[in-house]
Amino acid sequence: MREKFVKLVERSGASGELLILNIDKLSLSFENGKFKNIEEGKNGGIAVRVIKDGKLGFSFSTDAEDVESVVDESLTVSKFGDKVDFQFVEGGSADEKNFYDERIEKEEREKFIEEGEKVIEELKAFKKEIEPFFYMERDIITKEIITTNGFEGRIKKTVITFALGGQIMREGDFLTIYDSKSFSSMDLVNIESSVKKVKEQFINAENT
C-alpha cells in the first residue's frame, strides 16, 4: 500500500500523508441480570491529506484498500482547499507503544464473561430487586502514518472500557445507577471499585 500511495501522489506533483487505522474489537454485555451477547469484529479505514500547488486537500474511506479513489478525491478537494505553509513529516520512522498493554490484547473472551458474571452475581446478592447490567469492551487500535517525504510511523494502543450498574423500581419510577471507566493498562483496571461505588450510591439514594 505504501508504494502505491507514494506513486499516486507523486505522479500528480503533490506531496501527501496517508493514515491507516485498524481497530480490533471484542465486547460483551449482560442486561437485566442475564448474559446478552458477545461480539468480535474489525473495522477501520484510511485518510489522505495532500498538498498540491500550496493547497491542502483531504479525503477518507472505510475501505482500507481504496487508496486510489481516496487519493484522487483529496487531489480534487485540494483545488478548493486552503493555502497552507507547512510540509508533511520528513524521513525516519517511529514505533510508539506508550499506551499498549500486551495483557489486554491477549485477554480471552472467557475472562470477560467471568468478570461479567461476577459483577451480576454481586449486585444481585446486594439487593435482590436490582436488575443489573454489565458491558465490557476491549479495543486494539493501530495507526500507521506514511508520508511521501519518507516518514513511516506506527502507534499501537490498547483500551478496556466497562460500564456496570443496575436499576430498581422506586416510588413508581426506575432508579438507574451506574459507573463506567476506560483504561489502557491492566494494572489500572479495578472493576470491584466501581461495583462498590454503585452499591454506595444505591444506599445513599434509599436514605434520601
- Across the range 112-132, mean pLDDT stands at 94
- Band of the pLDDT at 205, cuts 50, 70, 90? confident
Alpha helix stretches (DSSP H) within the chain: 2-11, 67-78, 102-106, 109-126, 191-206
What is the average pLDDT value for the chain, to the nearest integer? 93
Highest mean pLDDT among 13-22, 85-94, 101-110: 13-22
- Domain containing 125 equals 2-206
- CA-closest candidate to residue 163, choices 185, 194, 189: 194
Q: How confident is the model at residue 106 (pLDDT cuts 50, 70, 90)?
A: confident
Query: In the prediction, which pLDDT does 99 show?
Result: 86
- In the chain, the number of structural domains is 1
Does residue 207 or residue 152 have the better pLDDT?
A: 152
Query: What pLDDT score does 188 carry?
Result: 86
How are beta strands 152-170 and 93-99 bridged, if at all? Answer: parallel
Read off the pLDDT of residues 7-24 as tens digits, 9 standing for 90 and up. Answer: 999 999 999 999 999 999
Q: Is 164 left (phi over 0), alpha (psi -120 to 50) or beta?
A: beta
Length of the chain counted residue by residue: 208
pLDDT of residue 98: 74
Percent of the chain residues past pLDDT 70, beyond the cut: 100
Lowest mean pLDDT among 96-105, 126-135, 157-166, 197-206: 96-105
- The CATH number for 31's domain is 3.30.2290.10
Cα–Cα dist 43/17, whole Å: 21
- Tens-place pLDDT, residues 136-182: 999 999 999 999 999 999 999 999 999 999 999 877 788 999 999 99
pLDDT of residue 118: 96
Residue 123 has pLDDT above 80, yes or no: yes
